[in-house]
Every structure is written in structure tokens, then in C-alpha cells.
Amino acid sequence: MKKIISVALAGNPNAGKTSLFNALTGSHHKVGNYPGVTVEKLEGFVDHGNLRFKIVDLPGIYSLTAYSLDEVVARDFLIEEKPDIVVDVLDSTNLERNLYLCLQFQELGIPVVGALNMTDEAEEKGIKINETLLSESLGIPFVKTVGTSGKGIKDLLDKTAALVASKNSKAAEHAASTKSLKRQEPLQKVPQYGEEIESRLAPLTKLIESDRAFCDRYPPRWIAIKLLENDENAIKKMQDHAKGQEIITKAESDRAWITGHFGKESEIVITEQRYGYIRGAMHETLIQSTSGRASFTEYIDRLTMNHFLGLPLFFLIIYGIFKLTFALGEYPAALLEAFFGSLATLAQIVIPEGFFRSLVVDGIIGGVGGVFSFVPLIVILFLCISILEDTGYMSRAAFLTDKALHAFGLHGQSFMPLMLGFGCSVPAIMATRTLKSPRDRIATILAVPFMSCGAKLPVYVLLAGTFFPKNAYNIVMLMYLGGVVLSMFSTMLLKRTVLRGPSTAFVMELPPYRLPTWKGVFWHVWGKTWSYIKKAGSIILVASIVIWAITTFPQPRDEVEKTQVFAADFAVTMAEASQEERDLAVERALDEYRLEYSIAGKIGKIIEPAIRPLGFNWKLGVALVPSFSAKEIVVSTLGILYGSGSEENEESESLRQALQRDPGLNPLTALTFMVFILIMPPCLASLAAIRSEAGGKWMLFQVVYSMTLAWIVSFIVRLIALPFLGA
């Protein structure tokens, strides 16, 4: 049995952590989530000698403050789980800022090994690092690595194993030599903050050490530093300390002293001292020969971030992605649709007529199959997006769009999720994870459903095509534009009310352009696609069955009598028509009667008074009920309601004629209905995504909010359009 050593793999974003993780663990890893949050947790194993390293990939962070969700996750993991070793991945081309994080790990009292990653890139840039000297001066073993090629991996594992061995021997020594209460000497040295700060740190640390149980959980010096940095999270932790109040008071007076002495906030002073310490260590170990020549990245940025060309180029790229997604995705999507179609036919042959067949064909295959047909589109879309992300273009997009989005209370990084929303809200909501501030994230999540997704398009096409045959295209475009405008104003409203709060800083790294690796892109796309498929297989499946059930049950008992009544009626009203046509009419009337009798029909009748002011009759009310599970179902429900069977699509002529025949429907109602569909709560899959990304509270908020907004806006649109379209 090998000894298991837990290793936390940490580092700055863009330092090549993922590729190093893959190089270390091969393909032996599993994906999970950190408890309670949606930050992904990767775990993998690698054997080395008689040790087995269990490597946990921490999210990429810049510092150990509690600034972003990622930082909180990383920090909690290091403090609560106490891994044996931290392997810090550093970008060699950008060592100074990367060391800033490295030192904070050292401060936590967990032994650190530094992987000087991207050595190849650094050498190309003329940066030479003397890792032996650097190791000596900081007291951290450093190894040069190249994650993408696997260079230096063995050396890294050797150094990690050596550190484990020395940690163990120190611990044994400590156990053997003393039974006194003296605390264990730290394994590695810690950063020094200069005389003035240290003179404040020492007594504060001593005071914290007075509670031994507390110190077993949190490293005292680290807590002392965090208190001087006015870290809210650390202050909260002091509640568990026997002398908590005394210590907080002391830290406050220390902070005041530092501010008075240095003329700036103590947290700024500590940061400056830390960088000063790094400068000192780097002075002799790093040689940078600058060529004066503009880099490759700089040349491209001159175009992509150009004052005038940047934005047009950006829109061209976005347009290209959409074109590619829908043009290329159409073929596999059609294949999948055909597959589910033949599956339905097969089920119709194999399963005897009855409820079970109806459940399988109309409920399960119809519902889940419809959602699965979007998978190829999602794969292509995410392929393009992860390439944009891995090359570094995404930060340029944030640069270009931040100003416009910020005016409405969003963020440069909100752009991509909003764009994705035109395809499908589910991946769009998942894509908001890149946003650091929870408020910005929630604002973006709540704005996404107003982007008309692919499922709303069939509804627009059907209604616009039927009631605005001359202007169908323009009306559909109007819906899309209206959604965008509405999302912006909705965000403005929310940011001034429920999401009010101080604006968070927009401080974002602009990494150099890098070639994406196939592996990286693959894992990215696979992860997103798989979670989409899982949702389709679980929530959509359940929802499809529920919708099927409420549109099917209860069944009228007087079907036979009704059939005779309808037949007699049609024999009079359709006297000239053929027997076949009359039979069809009876069948349609029966379908409508069954639906009216079902739970869905009853719900339609119940909600009719509420939607009457919008001009909707009970049939439109019925169509709204299943639209909660997926918007495209509106089309097939209208198909059933208007008696042309569920095999309808938006291009169907008979459905269009049937819709036009209904005196309750006119261009005004159709327009109002489209607006309502645009704004009303998104489909169940999206709501599930909102719940998992933002929490159940925000999901409920989204439902109530968008329902209210849909009603109000539809009503206003109806009032405005009334003089133009007539009742």
C-alpha cells in the first residue's frame, strides 16, 4: 500500500496550470465540485516511488484575499483540508506577480514547491531565471517545467517527494525531542515585512498563540497578517478564539498605527512590503534582456484592440461563429432529428396502442429528442468559444465591450454569455462562471433569458408568418432586438434595486496570445456538452412526462357520445365535404375536446381571466402551460389545439389556416403573444441551470420577475400597437 500524499495544485490564472495538471496525472482524473459552490474541482493521482500523490486542482487565483469565489474556495480548501504540499505553478514570463501568490502559500505554513512553468516561452522572451539562487533566497524548491510538453515533470515530482520526506523527518524530530508546549518550527522560512510591521506582527501573533486549539486550525502568523490586512474573513474567524475581542481591538490599533506611520491603508502597506521582498529576491536571480522589438502579441493587438477596427472585427468573429454553428450544425442536428423520428416510428410499431405508447412517443421521445437535437450546435458553439478563450481573445472582447455593457450595469465578461443566450440559455448561464463578482454574475444570469433562444424562434416564425405574411422577417428581427433592449433595461432596473451594491473593480489580466492545445479544448467542450446532456436526460425527461400527463389526463368519459355529436354536427355544417374530410374534422374536434378536458385545459381556463386583458383566449393559455418546459412545445400544442395534430411545425400551411380562422386571434394578439413568450420565465432546463449556478432563491425570483414583466410589457405593447393593428 503506497502512502497517499495530498497535493494542492495552485497558481495564477493563465499560468498553464491545467496543462501541467494533465501532464502530471495523464487522463486519470475525475471532475467534481467544491462543496456548496459551482467551482469545478479536478482530482487526479500520480505514483512516484513509494508515494501516491493525490493532486487537487485549485482554481486559478491572484491572491489569497476573499475577493472572488475562486479565491474563497482555494483558501478554504487550504485551511480546512490542510493538504500536505502545495505545488504552485508559476508563469516564468511573469514571475514577479506569480511569486506574490507563492509567498502567501508559504505564509499559510504548508510546504510549497514552485513549478517555474512556461520556461520555453520565457527563454524566447530573453528571461533567464537562476532557480537555485531563487530557491535559496526564498526557501522554496523551484523546478523549471513546460506543462504542454511535460518537460521537468519528473524533477518536479522528485522535489515534491523530497519535501515530503524532510517534512516527515522534522515532524518526527519534533515529536522525539520535545514534549513541551513549544510550537513546531515552520518547515520553510516566511516572508519578512520590514522592521515596523514585524514589530506589530510579533505581539499580535503571540496573543493569537494563546489559544492552542485555535492555532491547530489556523496558522497564527497568517491570521495576524490577515488581521492587519483588515481581512473580513479572518476577523470573523476570531469569534472562535478565546481572546477574540481583545485581539480584534489590538489589530485595529495596529492598523491605525501603520496607517499613521506610512500614510496609507495598512493592507496597501503589507502588499507593498510583500512585493518589496520579492523584488529583493528576484534582483540577482532573474536576467531579462529586452529586445525592444514588439512581440507577436503586440502586433495582433494593434489590430484586434484597435480604436476603430477592434469592434467591427469582433462582431465579424461573433457573426462567423454563429454562421458556422448553425450552418455546420444543421447537418448533424437534422440527422439526430431523423434518428428520433425513426425511433418514434419504431416505438409506434413495437408498442401496442394505448397510454404507454403515447407516453413514449409524444412524451419521452418528443420531449427529450427535441432537446438532444441541439447537442451538435452546442458542441460547435463551445468548440469556437473555448478556442477564443484559450487563445486569449476573450479578454480582448471584454476590453472592447466593457464600456457599453457597464453603462447598463453589466461587465465586459458578460458579453459572451449573452451571445450564447441566442443559442440556448443553459450553456449561456453556465458560461457566467468566468465573472468574478457574484452580483455581476447574477445580473448576467438574469439577463440571459431575454436573449431569444433557438427554441423561441419556431414560435416567432409560426405567428409572424401567419399574421404578418408581408413583414414576417422584420417582426422576428424586432423580437430579437426587443429582447436585447429589454435585457439591458431590466439589468439597469435590477442593479438599482435588488442587486444594488458598490461596483466591483474591473481588473483583468490580458494574457499574451497562446496556441490552444487539443487536449485543453477537448476537455472544455466535453465538460460543457456532458452537463447539457445530463440536464436533458434528467430534468427535461421528467418535465416531458409531466407535460404529457397534464395534457392527456383526465380523459373525458363521454368520448363516444361526443363523437356522435360531432359527427352529427359536421354532417350538417360540412354537408358538401367528403366523408374523409368530415372524419378528420371529427378527429380534430375530439382532440380539442380532450385537451379542454385535461388538466392543462383546466389550467388554461383558470388562467384565462388573468390573460384576458392581453387578448389571449383559453387556448393560448393552454399553449402557455407546457411552454414552461420548453418554448418550442408552444408550436405543437397550438397544433393540437387548432386541430391539425401534433405533427405540426412552424412551416405548416394547415396550421396557419386554422390559426387564421380563429376569431380570437389577430395580428395584435399574435404580436402580444410573441412578446409574452419572449419575456416569460425560461424553460425548465434553464431554470435548473439558474438554480445550480445562482441558487434556488434567484431561480424563484427569475420566475416571479419575468412573469410580472411579461404581463406588464405585453400589456403596454398591446396598447401601443392597438391603433396600428386594430383589434
Partner 1 sequence: MRLSDTRPGTAFIVDKVLIGGEIGKRLADMGFTQGTTGHYIRGAFLRGPLQIRIRGYDLLIRRCEARLIEVKI
* CB of 186 vs partner 1, minimal distance in Å: 23
3-state SS assignment for residue 681:
coil
* CB of 230 vs partner 1, minimal distance in Å: 7
Which of 213, 505, 575, 727 touches partner 1 (CB under 8 A)? Answer: 505
Instruction: Give the residue with the Cβ less far from partner 1, 179 or 403.
Output: 403
Is 65 a binder of partner 1 (CB under 8 A)?
Answer: yes
Identify the H or E element spanning 471: none
Q: Are 193 and 274 in contact (CB under 8 A)?
A: yes
Among 523, 525, 527, 518, CA closest to 379: 525
Q: Are 31 and 42 in contact (CB under 8 A)?
A: yes
* CB of 130 vs partner 1, minimal distance in Å: 17
Q: Are 455 and 718 in contact (CB under 8 A)?
A: no
Instruction: Give the residue with the Cβ less far from partner 1, 97 or 243.
Output: 97
Which of 399, 513, 701, 715 touches partner 1 (CB under 8 A)? Answer: 399
Is 400 a binder of partner 1 (CB under 8 A)?
Answer: yes
Is 124 a binder of partner 1 (CB under 8 A)?
Answer: no
C-alpha cell, 19: 496543462
Among 449, 398, 481, CA closest to 698: 449
- The answer, yes or no, to whether the previous bond of 682 is cis (omega within 30 of 0) is no
Instruction: Give the residue with the Cβ less far from partner 1, 116 or 426.
Output: 116
* CB of 58 vs partner 1, minimal distance in Å: 17
How far apart are the C-alpha atoms of 151 and 158, rounded to whole Å?
13
Q: What are phi and psi of 147, to 5 degrees?
A: -60, -40
* CB of 289 vs partner 1, minimal distance in Å: 13
Is 106 a binder of partner 1 (CB under 8 A)?
Answer: no
C-alpha cell, 234: 479572518
Sole residue written with cell 358538401 = 576
How far apart are the C-alpha atoms of 368 and 365, rounded to whole Å?
6
Is 230 a binder of partner 1 (CB under 8 A)?
Answer: yes
Which of 175, 334, 338, 510 touches partner 1 (CB under 8 A)? Answer: 510
Is 508 a binder of partner 1 (CB under 8 A)?
Answer: yes
Which of 7, 9, 23, 95 touches partner 1 (CB under 8 A)? Answer: 95
Instruction: Give the residue with the Cβ less far from partner 1, 437 or 672.
Output: 437
Instruction: Give the residue with the Cβ less far from partner 1, 269 or 368.
Output: 269
Is 350 a binder of partner 1 (CB under 8 A)?
Answer: no
Which of 249, 503, 649, 654 touches partner 1 (CB under 8 A)? Answer: 503
* CB of 402 vs partner 1, minimal distance in Å: 5
Is 233 a binder of partner 1 (CB under 8 A)?
Answer: no
Dihedral over alpha carbons 421, 425, 429, 435 (to 10 degrees): 0
How far, in Å, are 230, 282, 384, 592, 665 from residue 622 at the CA level? Answer: 57, 70, 39, 11, 14
* CB of 14 vs partner 1, minimal distance in Å: 9
Is 105 a binder of partner 1 (CB under 8 A)?
Answer: no
Residues 250-289 that bind partner 1 (CB under 8 A): 264-268, 271-272, 275-276, 288
Sole residue written with cell 528571461 = 127
Residues 34-63 that bind partner 1 (CB under 8 A): 62-63
C-alpha cell, 217: 486550525
DSSP 29-48: EEEEE-TTS--EEEEEEEEE
Instruction: Give the residue with the Cβ less far from partner 1, 7 or 269.
Output: 269
Instruction: Give the residue with the Cβ less far from partner 1, 293 or 307.
Output: 307
DSSP letter assigned to residue 185: P
Sole residue written with cell 495552485 = 10
For partner 1 (CB under 8 A), the number of binding residues is 47
Instruction: Give the residue with the Cβ less far from partner 1, 217 or 406.
Output: 406
Contact track, partner 1, 409-448, x by CB under 8 A? ---x------------------------------------
Q: How do strand 127-129 and strand 85-91 relate by DSSP bridges?
A: unpaired
Q: What are phi and psi of 521, to 5 degrees?
A: -65, -40
- CA atoms within 13 Å, Cβ hemisphere of 515: 5
Which residues here bind partner 1, judged by CB under 8 A? Answer: 62-63, 65, 67, 93-97, 100, 229-230, 264-268, 271-272, 275-276, 288, 301, 305, 307-308, 310-311, 395, 398-400, 402-404, 406, 412, 503-512
